[in-house]
Amino acid sequence: MSRSLFGTLAYLADRLWLFGLRQASASVFGGFLLAAILLTKIWYPFTAVARYDALFAAAVLFQLFLLAARLETPREALIVLVFHLLATVMEVFKTSDAIGSWHYPGEAALKVGNVPLFAGFMYSAVGSYLVRSRRVLDLRFTRYPPLWATVLMAALVYVNFFTHHYVWDIRWPLLGFIGLLYGRSWVHFRLGHQNRRMPTLVGMFLVAVFIWIAENVATYARIWVYPEQTNGWQPVGVAKLLAWFLLIMMSFVLTTLTHPVARCDAAGRPLTPPQPAPSPV
């Protein structure tokens, strides 16, 4: 019995280790940014260049390295760019003097409004992870909702990030809408030669949890701060998980516009191959 238990634990540890390695590979861009953020918090000797500008340059160079080393595809780089642009628009609005949801305490020469250009890369890291994980883990989905419904949901989520400051906040109805769309959906992934699966909503929520942890690290490093953190750091409340979950769902839909979802049956066997996304006119 003890040998059987030991073998089971060893097997689970091996699968967990492999899953961790795959996740690390998928989040290489986000991991690099987080490491750079922590390093510049601990040690930043340059006085002539603002910290945000140095981080922006480091992010661009790392992106070029990923492309040159063929660790990232051009389509994945396109996702990074799209996320950067959408995020910058939202950041300019959220950090405006009229809204003030959060602010960036440092100086930056490269900025738009109150937002250093580096900020968009933190959202780009989310898009990079979502699209890379589909390739690294061979993600396939059962009962994935139709494209039109997911695009509608993503559009409503993005718009609500702006409009909830002026009209009724619909994040809870949006959460119910997401539950209706994805409640029966499962995501299948490959570990070694074995297929595994979990409910799609559970997988997305776990991603939101890890982003919330990264957010706590970034605010501790004073990349951005919320009003309650101005006079000293304190952990970001768990209520922020809802906002991150909505952002993850919206972000995943955006990646499906260039990387169509691979569908499979309940056993994880592929159905018809996904059709390539149409080229923009």
Q: How many CA atoms, within 13 angstroms, populate the side-chain half-sphere of residue 139?
A: 28
Q: Is residue 280 part of a domain?
A: no
Q: Is residue 106 part of a domain?
A: yes
| Strand 111-112 relative to strand 115-116, pairing | antiparallel
Number of structural domains (the chain) is 1
pLDDT at residue 135 in the model? 87
Q: Is residue 163 part of a domain?
A: yes
The dihedral built from the CA positions of residue 23, 26, 30 and 36, taken in this order, carries a sign that is positive
* Band (272; pLDDT cuts 50, 70, 90): low
pTM: 0.89
pLDDT at residue 78 in the model? 87
| pLDDT tens profile 221-231 | 999 999 999 99
Strand spans (E) along 124-263: 140-142, 186-191, 194-199
Q: Is residue 264 part of a domain?
A: no
Q: Is residue 247 part of a domain?
A: yes
**Beta carbons of 253 and 148 less than 8 angstroms apart:** no
Q: Is residue 62 part of a domain?
A: yes
Intra-chain end-to-end CA distance of the chain, in Å: 64
Mean pLDDT over residues 64-71, rounded?
91
Torsion of CA 254, 256, 257, 262, to 10 degrees: 180
| Strand 186-191 relative to strand 140-142, pairing | antiparallel
Count of residues for the chain? 281
Q: Is residue 184 part of a domain?
A: yes
Q: Is residue 52 part of a domain?
A: yes
**Beta carbons of 30 and 56 less than 8 angstroms apart:** no
**Beta carbons of 231 and 155 less than 8 angstroms apart:** no
**pLDDT reading at 24 higher than 90:** no
Residue 111: strand pairing partners? 116
Domain extent, residue 57, equals 25-256
